[in-house]
Each structure stands twice: as structure tokens, then as C-alpha cells.
Structure 1
Amino acid sequence: MAVPGALLQRDRPRLSDASLAPIALLAALPVLVALWKQGPCLQQGWGGTEPFWRFCYSDLAVGVQTADAERGITAYLSGDVPLDQPPLTGSVVSLIAGLAPGEGPLATQRWVLGVWAVLAVAALVLLAWWVRTMPGHRGDALQVAVAPVAGLTILLSPDLLGVVLATGGLWAWSRRHPALAGALLGAGLMARTYPALLLLVVAAHAWRTGRERELPRFGGAALATVAVIALPFLILSPGTLTRSWSAWFDAPAGLGSVWYLPTLAGSPWPASVLTTLAVLGILVAVVLAGLLVLGTPWAPRIAAVALVAVAVVLVSGKSFPVQTSLWLVPLVALAGLRWRDHLVWALAEAVHFMAVWLYLSGLQNPDKSLPPGWYAVALLLRVGAVGYLGVRAGQTATAFPETGDEAHDDLADDLRSSI
């Protein structure tokens, strides 16, 4: 079938059209909001219950202190820095912490968050450019650059590293660079777990679009990257390589998960049952992704399929902490969802964000507690919003390509015209 010239032109990277300078200025806004939100903790530290009341708690900052990450990457590779992170993420965090110019835990925490904030601005700009130039997607870069969810979560954890690598892998595959795509997604897998889903989505997409000959290069690059990253750990400290993943099997239901509702009711479910349910959720996500890619009349947007799969895994998982919502930000933009969908989801995330910290602080001070019932409402609101994103992404994936590409609402046009 002939491809219209307009579509071919749209598939080319447009450096001038991407407007990197104004996008860079806008990308600083969520990071500045995140830093402002961290203000009380940057002054007084992240200990006690005060960070919950101040909404400035950060796993990134707390993990640096509790794991003695200032000892540096060498100590981490040898197993002496027990960061609860996948190997690549733990390596990057310990490397940054080891370069801290000040002495003492608080100085190291401030240094790590400051460096991460600078990297976050660069990452958002890069993500926005990828969104704007990804062939066949025509995503709205502003949905990344000024994403409200980024302002809530970007300094809570080092999840951003995995998000950048995973998104870069999708972009490279769409630009027909299979080896680069495999390498980025392989590295992403060593930084976060959800790129494993994207590897499967890309493989199915390759079969659907007649690119199966590229799969050996794609898969080989992914395996080679995983091997290179894993090799130092296998030599020095094999336990560090699998620490964060092996702990998942015996973990109880975590905050944000629908399986935490029995815990709120005083009857937590066994970890084995939760693990089984989470695995079933992963299988459902893989089956849905396969049906979307292989069962539609035309090849769907790969990012829309990825959003469906990731959303299913998140809402069915054993834990759904606030920071994992960052995974969805570039996928929402690349899937071509409207701003109204984005803002509905962001509102639910904001309600849950406030509720979870009030609930946690109340566990240690019942006189100022958010009742479990109200936290359950916020939890279900957020899970429902993520499920809504998955439904909308499924509709986008199965829509006629021209319809999906041209679906933009007035808010997106107004924001774009401002730059």
C-alpha cells in the first residue's frame, strides 16, 4: 500500500520543529516543582514522620543514607552497599553518591538529589524530542515536558533512568535501528523491570510489520548489553545482581496495589497468593499486547500497545508505589492520548499522592491519621485512572492510523501555541 508523502515527511526527525529551547525551559518546570516540594526535607532531612506530613519523602534520598551509598560504586559492585535497586540503577546512584563533595549523610543526600534534578531536566528534554520525532506516532512533546506526574515523582526514586532507556529503545526501533533498540531496552531491563514487556511488544511488532529479520540483531544486542552490565556483579557479588528481583517473590502487598485493600481491612493475603496474582497479571498483559499487535487489521502504534501492557501490570501488581507512575508519562504521550485523558489521570495521581503520605504518617500518629477507608478510595481512584489510560490506549491502538495521528484537543493546541 502506498504511503502518503505527508506521512513520510512526518516520520523524519524535525530538529527545528521540536523547538528544543522552549521545550527545555518548560521541562525545567516539573523539576523545579519537585525541588520546591522537597524543600522541607532538603533543609531538615528525611528522617521521622515529618517528611510524610510535608509531602517530601523520597526513596532516593532515604536509600542513599540507609545503604551508605556514599561509599561509591566500587563498594556497591562488591556487595557492601545494599541499595534496593536493580543493578544498573544501583550502580548509577552509588556512583553519584560516591562523588559527593560534602561529608555526612545529609550532605550526600542533598548532592544526589541536586545532581538527579539536573539530569532530570536533560532527560525530560530528550524524552520530549523522542516523542516529537518518533515515526508514526506524532506524540505531543508537551505531555512529557510539563507532565504533572513528573513534578510529583521525578525526585522520589531513580526510576527515571529506566524510563529514559526504555523510551529510547522504542524510538530507536521506530527509526529502524534494531541493534540500538535492543541495547537500550536491555540496559533498561537492568534499570527497571517493565522494559521486559517492551522487548516482547517490539518482537511481536516485528513479526506483524515484516521486520522479523531484524530480530536477531535486536535480541542479540539486548542480551549482550545485559551480559556486559551483569558481568561485574557475577564476578564480585552475584547476590547484588538479583537482590531487588528476588525480594519481590516474598514481598507482601505494597502501597498503591489493589491487593493492599485486604491489608487495610486487617486481613492481608499471603505473599504466595499475591505473587501468583501478579504473575497472572503479567500473562494477561502479554496476551493483550499480542492480540493488539497481531489481531488488528493494521499494525497498531507500538507505544499504545506498550501502554496497555504496562498499565495492566501496574494495576495487577503486588505493589504500585507513587513513583512507578513515571513509567507511563512518555507512553501516554507516544500513544497519542488527548490532554483531557492525561489530566484526568494526573488528578487521580495527585489525590493518591497526598493520601498515601497522610496515611503513612497516621500509622505512627493515630491522632492525625487519614482513615484507611479514605485511603482505599484514593487508591481505587488512581487504579481506575490507570485502567482508563489502558482502555484509551487500546482504543488508539485499534483505531485507523490517521484518526489516531490527528487526535488532538484544544488544550494541546493552546499550550503549543504559547511556545
Structure 2
Amino acid sequence: MSEQTTAPEPDAAPLSLTPGERVIPSWTDPLAAAATRPIGGPLGEHAAVGRHWFWSPQRVALLFAMFMLMLSWFGKGSCIQQYQDSSGASQLDWRAGRPFVAMCYSDIVPLYSAEHLNDPQTFPYVSSWVEDAGSQKARTRYMEYPVVTGMFQWVNARIAQGWLAGAEAGWLPGALPVAVYFNITAFWLALAWLVTVWAVGRTAKRRPWDALLVAISPLILVHAFTNFDAIATALTAAALLAWSRKRPEVAGILLGLGAAAKLYPLFLLGALFVLCLRSGKLKQWSIAAGFTAATWLIVNVPFYLAAPQGWQEFFRLNTVRPMDPDSVYNVVSYLSGWTGFDGVLPRGTTPTWLNIVVAVLFLACCAGIAYIALTAPRRPRLAQLCFLVVAAFLLTNKVWSPQYSLWLVPLAVLAIPRWRILLAWMVIDALVWAPRMFYYLGVDHKGLPEGWFLSTVIIRDLAVIALCTLVVQEIYNPAKDLIRQAGDDDPTGGVLENTKDTKKNAQTASPAK
């Protein structure tokens, strides 16, 4: 469509857009405007938007995402290099602390052998092995990930086995088995992140360029292939897209699959419940929740019946896991000398009081978010509540593995499409990786002391809290919300969008009123 409006200054008053008209970042966002100067500056007043035969905001975002994923793969590539030992056998080159010095560490590499994926005779949750065999700490172990993630690893291991057979036959290039496994896994994780970018761009509707923030996120450079979290982000982003298209049953199926990969997609049902309660749309919520539960059960029940002890390993490990180095509890412990709610416990002992405190704090945050959603002058947008819930979980949880920050990226872009603020947070969060790696290297090997690492954790937590504060401010003052400044109600809302707000005296009209 041809734009005839004069391009306003980025800091000018909010634009009044006609229905269906795109929000143009170079007109509305100072960072986007500055970024366009090397290529001619902001979009011209007579530019034809949406007329190019191939390039669209989504395709541009996907292209940038592929470039970032390529850089991320090269960043992890140092950890799949090999060398020949004294006997002439090829070995993975993790000598001299390479994973930490090169900052290329990825869980995918050690898990290949740790989860016995290199053994073609094993099957997740059914097969077991003994950890610390021959000692008093000996314990039977099983696959430690939820079913979708566990099977994802096993299938990739079997594909790698087939690739290696082709390499032996001479018609495929060969490498160390773990390197082949890593590359196959990275391919599917890259595809999952591309799905995440695509889903955010489709959900944003009149703001398709916001997907570029997901595509170029600095967190992708360090964490796209750190673990398997891109699977859950893809399923969650696709679920939000399905809900925005008024398909609660599809959203439920995707959330169920996401919950079978990582726990956090289940939290979105809580945000949906509060908003549907306020809007009188509990029937649609029941459909989504029912399909979520059914999907999760269909995926999990067969494994539970076939190998109940192996299936429970994920839950057991999360119960006995102590406070993570990245958690706020460890920060408090380091600064104060506090030994934790349970004191010093032997390895493998359940930190009962820590688990209780974590659960209580998260539930208290959820209650506070529900109160905000029900008392706000206008119904909050779905993405705003989803971001608050997931951020609250990470801030109060005893574990914040660095790749968990990927969970927030698509939710933050949909909730707070402010480019400078989001990129600043993403840079801060991504930079935590460097001191973390050198902390694990150890002071004895010229690494960093714990205090340096924890100082970056504090800054990261404060940045996330600042984002949450901004979201709450925009919930209580919708006129400051960029989405509603453009005249939209809730592009992610689906059946909630433009529905009558049941809160008395709620502002259901334009936020400009």
C-alpha cells in the first residue's frame, strides 16, 4: 500500500493509523531511525510499503535470524574441534579449559555421552546407568529431560549414527560422533528459532518489523545452541499465534507440546485464565486448557506406564537441585555468608525449605500479577501478562540457567516493543555469559572470582525487574503502551481482542480518550 503521510520525527506524538496500516519503526523508534541512516534514512513519505515481490518484514527478519544463527554456530564451533592423542586416535579437544576460555560451552556436547546417547542400545527413560559406580554416592540415573526434549536428543543421536554409517561408506563427510550429533541438533534448533521469529512476526500484525528484535537478539549469539530451549520457544510463540488467530484448540495442543519440552509454557494458561475471566471468555480458555492437558497426557502417559522411574527423573532432579549460581538466593548467600534455608546439605539431599520458599514466592508473584490484571483500568494485553509471569518465575526460581533468558525474548518483544530498551536488556543478559564462563574456569586457572560473576547476575536481574516495572506502568496507563497508541487493542488477544471489558468503568475505547 502506498504511504502518503509525511514521515514524523521518531520522538513525535503517537501516530494515528488507519485500520490495517503498518507501524513503521524508522518513523516511530529512535534506534530504528538511526540504524537506517547508513542506507538512506527513514522511510520516505511516498514509499510503497508492501509492494516488493519478494522482500517483506518477515523475510528480512528470517534472513537476519539465519545470519545470527550462523554466527552462533561458529561461536560454539571451537567446542567440537578435535585432536589426535598419543595413540593416534581422534579426541574432542576440550584441553586447557577450552569450553570456558573460548566461551563455546554447550550442554549438547557433554550430554551426548552423559545421557548415553552414544550407545545405540539405549532408549530414553527405559535405559539406565549407574552414576559414581563403586562409591557410596552410587545412584541409578535416567534421561533427565522432559519427554519431548529427551526424545529430541535420542532421535538426533540416531540420525547421527546413520550419518556416521554413511561416512564409513564414503558418501558423507565424517567427523567425531559427538560433532556430527551437535551439528544435527544445531540444525533443528536453528529451525526452531526461525519458527519463533516467524510466529512473532505473524502475531505482531501491524508491527511485523518487531520480529527483527527476536532475529538479532544478542542472546541468540550465545544461547541458540547452549541447550535445547529453542524447541519450547518455538512451540510457545506458535501457540500465541494460534490464540491470536482465535484457534484455542491449536494453541492448547502447542502449549501441551511445549510443556512436555519445558515447564514454562504452562504458565501462559494462568495469564489466559485471568484475562478470559475478566472478559467473560472462560469457554475459550477451557478449550485451550483442555487441549493442553490432553496433549501433555498423550505425550507423557506412555512413558510413565512403560518406565515410571525413568519418567520421574526430571522431576526428581529438579526437586533435589540446590540453588543455582545464577539465582538470587546464591547472590544473597555470597554477599551475606548465609548458608541457605536448609543449611549445608550433602549432595543429592532435597532442599525442602528452599523448594517451599521458591513455590510460595512464585505463587505470590502470580497472585500479584492477577491482581494487576483484574484492577487495571483496561484489560492488559496477553503478551504483557505472559512476560510478567515468566519473568517472575525466573527471578524467584532456584535455577536460572543462562539459556532460560531465551524464553523471555519473544514475550518481551510482543509485550514491550521498545527497541532501545529491549536491545539494552538483551546485551546485558548476553554479557553474563562471559564472566560465567571464566568463573567456571576457576581462579586457579586464571578465571574470575565468584563476586565478579555475581555482579553481572545482579545487573541482569535488575534489568529484568526494570522491564517488569515498565510493563506494569503501561498496564495501568495504556496511553503509554505503543501497541495501544497505534489504536490496537491486543493483537495477541484472539477472542479477547476488542471484547467488552467486564471491569466496571473499564476503558474499552481508544487509549487516547
TM-score by length of 1: 0.87
Match of 1:76 in 2: 124
Q: Which runs of 5+ in 2 are unaligned?
A: 1-15, 24-49, 83-91, 130-141, 169-174, 343-350, 487-513
Alignment of 1:394-413 (within 5 A): 394-400=472-478, 403-405=481-483
**Aligned: 1:201 with 2:296:** no
Residue of 346, 361, 366 corresponding to 1:286: 366
**Aligned: 1:167 with 2:167:** no
CA distance in 2, matches of 1:264, 1:47: 30
Alignment of 1:112-261 (within 5 A): 112-134=181-203, 138=207, 140-261=210-331
CA distance in 2, matches of 1:175, 1:153: 30
Show CA shifts across 1:5-29 (max 9, x none).
9456779xx9988534322221112
> Structure 1 residue 296: deviation in Å?
1.4
Q: Which runs of 5+ in 1 are unaligned?
A: 409-419
Between 243-252 and 132-141, report the one with greater CA deviation.
132-141
CA distance in 1, matches of 2:110, 2:447: 23
CA distance in 2, matches of 1:230, 1:345: 36
| Pair 125,396 (structure 1): closer, same or farther in 2 beyond 3 Å | farther
Q: Helix, strand or coil: the match of 1:169?
A: helix
Match of 1:66 in 2: 114
CA distance in 1, matches of 2:117, 2:69: 23
Aligned length: 401
Q: Helix, strand or coil: the match of 2:81?
A: helix
Residue of 361, 371, 376 corresponding to 2:454: 376
Show CA shifts across 1:40-71 (max 9, x none).
11104374632111101111221122111134
Match of 2:66 in 1: 28
Q: Helix, strand or coil: the match of 2:164?
A: coil
> Structure 1 residue 136: deviation in Å?
7.2
Residue of 403, 408, 414 corresponding to 1:328: 408
> Structure 1 residue 335: deviation in Å?
0.7
> Structure 1 residue 77: deviation in Å?
4.3
CA distance in 1, matches of 2:473, 2:283: 29
Between 157-166 and 385-394, report the one with greater CA deviation.
385-394
CA distance in 2, matches of 1:359, 1:43: 23
CA RMSD of aligned residues (A): 2.9
Residue of 326, 333, 352 corresponding to 2:432: 352
- The answer (yes or no) to whether the contact 1:86–1:242 under 8 Å persists in 2 is no
Q: Helix, strand or coil: the match of 1:65?
A: helix
CA distance in 2, matches of 1:17, 1:208: 40
- The answer (yes or no) to whether the contact 1:257–1:318 under 8 Å persists in 2 is yes
Equivalent position amino acid for 1:151 in 2: L
Alignment of 1:92-131 (within 5 A): 92-100=152-160, 101-102=163-164, 107-131=176-200
Q: Helix, strand or coil: the match of 1:99?
A: helix
> Structure 1 residue 234: deviation in Å?
1.6
Equivalent position amino acid for 1:132 in 2: G
Equivalent position amino acid for 1:59 in 2: D
CA distance in 2, matches of 1:79, 1:328: 34
- The answer (yes or no) to whether the contact 1:58–1:155 under 8 Å persists in 2 is yes
CA distance in 1, matches of 2:147, 2:238: 19
Q: Which has the higher helix share?
A: 1
Equivalent position amino acid for 1:260 in 2: N
Q: Identity over aligned residues, as a percent? A: 25
Equivalent position amino acid for 1:162 in 2: A
| Pair 136,69 (structure 1): closer, same or farther in 2 beyond 3 Å | same
- The answer (yes or no) to whether the contact 2:62–2:197 under 8 Å persists in 1 is no
Match of 1:411 in 2: none
> Structure 1 residue 230: deviation in Å?
0.8
> Structure 1 residue 294: deviation in Å?
1.9
CA distance in 1, matches of 2:460, 2:468: 13
**Aligned: 1:342 with 2:422:** yes
| Pair 373,115 (structure 1): closer, same or farther in 2 beyond 3 Å | same
